[in-house]
Amino acid sequence: MQTLKDDLRAYAKAAGFSQMGVCRPDAIPEAADRLAQFVASGAHGQMGWMAERMNWRGDPTALWPEARSVIMLAESYTPDHDPLAVLDQPDRGGISVYAQGRDYHDVVKKRLKAVGRWLLSRAPEEQIKVFVDTAPVMEKPLGQAAGLGWQGKHTNLLGRDLGNWFFLGAIFTTVDLEPDSAEVSHCGSCTACLDICPTGAFPGPYRLDARRCISYLTIEHDGPVNPDLRPLLGNRIYGCDDCLAVCPWNKFAGQAHDLRLLGDGTHRAPELAELAGLSDTEFRTRFSGSPIKRIGRNRFLRNVLYAIGNSGNAALSLQVEPHLQEPDPTVRDAAEWAKSRLSGD
């Protein structure tokens, strides 16, 4: 089995994954209680799916009792530019690095399936199940248990050889593979990720209140954003990379293997004026194959209007005016807020 594991790791890296680790399905016994506390506090906001199937999410052994191993794989998407530079361009929109290229769900899942098929070719009597952020699987704790990295003070997974720009995929299997040693935190006294957060979304180290997180507010949150938080969004229109970008461990991060994940630059810093004019059809066409398409035109337009309101550029009022008559009340509210901000009311 050790030879099989070594060969599997070599195949996974040849296929494009940056790292691979293995853990047992029962390797994260503390996850269930931590998840329950997070949900009980209401810090998950509108993400009601976190409260669903909590027995599966908190206990991977319940998800598939026959599984003997969890193969965790990391795929780097380290940017080739400074992701915070766009914040100094108020007339342009800030889009999280992970969403600037091809939808990672599609890219990573295809690669995971290829690795899984290879494993079954060596162990045809066994079974696998492949997961990429689409099932009740707590990838980050499993990634730490498999030795890929540790959950930093910003709650994201980071590694000494990966930084924190990487996607996670999981292969549950009935193959009994030797587990790797779990990783421990190497954050030390650093608080860079906590200090940079514009909205104070971290009540403390290793704790996140999603209700104040810009990634949550611009992607998951439905309806109007709290008016007190809107100015703090700046020009971020889809996600936020601040806490990831300042992590000092990124200096050791490897480059992305698949350039599709980085995109061609189209979504790096788009003009707000252009985005505000997109019809529903134009929105779907422009963001075809991108995770941005998932939130729909109205939620995206809400974010763009908040960014315009924060731009300080009165000339952008021309792009706001048409949306004062939008059928969607949230978009209409965002337009009214943007107009008021730009007029100084």
- Choosing from 133, 161, 176, 258, the catalytic residue is 133
Q: Which amino acid is at 232?
A: L
Q: Whats the size of the chain, residue-wise?
A: 345
Task: State the CB neighbour count (10 A cutoff) for residue 176.
Answer: 14
Short-list 130, 114, 131, 145, CA closest to 11: 114
| The two structure tokens encoding residue 170 | 């999981």
| Rounded distance between C-alpha atoms, residue 314 and residue 344, angstroms | 9
Q: Please report where in the chains the tokens 């009601």 appear, as a residue.
A: 48
- Cβ 79 vs Cβ 94: under 8 Å: no
| Rounded distance between C-alpha atoms, residue 193 and residue 205, angstroms | 9
Short-list 76, 100, 85, 89, CA closest to 242: 85
Residue 133 among the catalytic residues: yes
Short-list 122, 201, 133, CA closest to 167: 133
| The two structure tokens encoding residue 237 | 């229109």
- Cβ 303 vs Cβ 218: under 8 Å: yes
Phi-psi region of 223 (alpha: psi -120 to 50; beta: other; left: phi over 0): left
Q: Which residues pair with 128 in a beta bridge?
A: 173
Cα 277-279-284 angle, rounded to 5 deg: 120
| Rounded distance between C-alpha atoms, residue 140 and residue 123, angstroms | 27
The DSSP element (H or E) to which 74 belongs, if any, is strand 69-76
By annotation, the residues acting in catalysis are: 133
